[in-house]
Amino acid sequence: MTQLHWMAFRMYLPTLACLLLAFASTWLLTSAEPAALAPPLGDALRWAPYALLGLAALLGVVASVRLLRCETGDALICGCGGLLGGEHAGRWGTYRTCAACGRRQGVLRNR
């Protein structure tokens, strides 16, 4: 796999984790007896897989839009071709971290 494939995999990893949690919670909740859970807790837990599926869909859309912007050139791109993340305050000023190589790029500001 190339460096950009790994970047895309890391961007979709939270989506995959939410999907796996949703399927695991569905499996656990269907195998549990209804009397084993207290009525208020059981009603709330019944909606947990749907909430996790919604969160996974939202995370997947965000990752897809970021990758689309990177591919079309509308996003900030590192020298290696990876997507730059948000600004962080660091010891020597603000910087952005590349999602592909992990290198920190300093943010230049006009003063």
Mean pLDDT score, 78-90: 85
Residue 75 is predicted with a pLDDT of 83
Element holding 42 (H helix, E strand): helix 39-46
Q: Is the dihedral of CA 103, 4, 10, 60 positive or negative?
A: positive
78 touches 71 (CB < 8 A): no
Q: What is the pTM of this model?
A: 0.78
pLDDT band at 20; cut points 50, 70, 90:
very high
75 touches 69 (CB < 8 A): yes
For residue 110, pLDDT over 60 is answered with no
How wide is the angle at C-alpha 68 spanned by C-alphas 6 and 12, nearest 5°? 40
Residue type, 110: N
Residue 58 is predicted with a pLDDT of 97
Mean residue pLDDT of the chain comes to 85
> What is the DSSP track for 47-78?
THHHHHHHHHHHHHHHHHHHHHHHHHT-S-B-
Mean pLDDT score, 48-53: 92
